[in-house]
Structure 1
Amino acid sequence: MNITERELVEAERNMASLRGEARAVSAHYDRRADRVLVRLNTGLELAFPPSMAEGLADASPADLNQIEVSPAGLGLHWPMLDADLYLPALLQGVFGSPGWMAAQLGASGGRARSAAKAAAARENGRKGGRPRTRKLG
């Protein structure tokens, strides 16, 4: 593969624009803690459970062990899972696509327990339970 002088200059310009930004320098999976650990060029370490990230939730420890850091340090890739995470998004608390994140929020809301939710469930039970969905048409 041949790289032109123009492509080289553009790549150097892109890398120069990344100076000062946090970038991953290494990443690994800690099986005992069940955490993905990412070390940044700033000295900061980011740790998160795989269950929080799209594409990693149901992965085996062997698949989680194989993490590649992109050359620019902005991406993490799990080749055995074909899963990718973007470091700037992780630092903002975004662990997946908007649809996936919404589904996770909905699931956690459904598991929530409160006195008001319990009272509403009891009241619905007295009325015969959840109403049946009606088919339109």
Structure 2
Amino acid sequence: MAVRKDQFEAANARGAARLAKTPTAVSARYDRRIGRVVIELSTGLGIAFKPHSAQGLEKATPADLAEIEISPSGLGLHIPALDADLYLPALLDGFLGSRKWMAATMGKVGGQASTEAKAAAARANGKLGGRPKKARETAQA
């Protein structure tokens, strides 16, 4: 199926309008002092994150992050030393990785939370004999 010229121009116009509303990267670098990747956006907002928090950068060293390239559209970041690419809208949407990757990452740490309140509740529950047994319903004839 061939695309007509007017359809092509309309698609380009929609793409340009969407790009105008989307934050794009204007600079990206690794800051050794704070140990974070720092991205300045076209909106004036800056974000910084630990490399191991982003999908594809989990094992990155400071030397690996010495060079970060920005795509011509400003929507992509490329780390040549790792041959890793980050797509800025997905990075912001899924918070530094795809939704599936973030869900798996969050699941790893979910049960590891330890607070004084949680420890106190466990001690108090232990003194009472542990978790209560579930009551069984008896069938009456």
Do these two structures clear the TM 0.5 threshold for a shared fold by scoring above it? Answer: yes
- Tell me the secondary structure at the aligned position of residue 55 of structure 1: coil
**Structure 1 gaps, min length 5:** 1-5, 128-137
The amino acid of 1:107's aligned partner reads: K
What amino acid maps onto 2:35 in structure 1?
A: D
- How large is the RMSD of aligned CA atoms in angstroms? 2.9
Give the paired residue count. Answer: 118
Give the match for residue 85 of structure 2.
84
Q: More deviation in 110-119 or 95-104?
A: 110-119
The correspondence of residues 1-137 of structure 1 with structure 2, limited to 5 A, is: 13=13, 16-17=16-17, 18-114=19-115, 115-116=117-118, 119=122
In structure 2, the residue corresponding to 1:111 is in which secondary structure?
A: coil
1:34-79 per-position Cα deviation (integer Å, ceiling 9, x unaligned): 1111111121111111121011121110111221111100111112
Larger mean Cα displacement after TM superposition, 111-120 or 25-34 = 111-120
Q: Give the 3 Å change call, closer, same or farther, for CA 60–83 of structure 1 in structure 2.
A: same
| Runs of 4+ residues deviating >3 angstroms | 8-15, 114-118
1:55 alignment partner AA: G
Q: Deviations over 1:6-32 (max 9, x none)?
A: 7x9689646623123211111000011
Change (3 A) 1:73 1:14: farther
Aligned-pair identity in percent equals 53
Distance 2:14 2:77 in 1: 19
Q: Partner amino acid for 2:61? A: S
Structure 1 residue identity aligned to 2:112: R
The 1-side partners of 2:11 and 2:77 are apart by 20
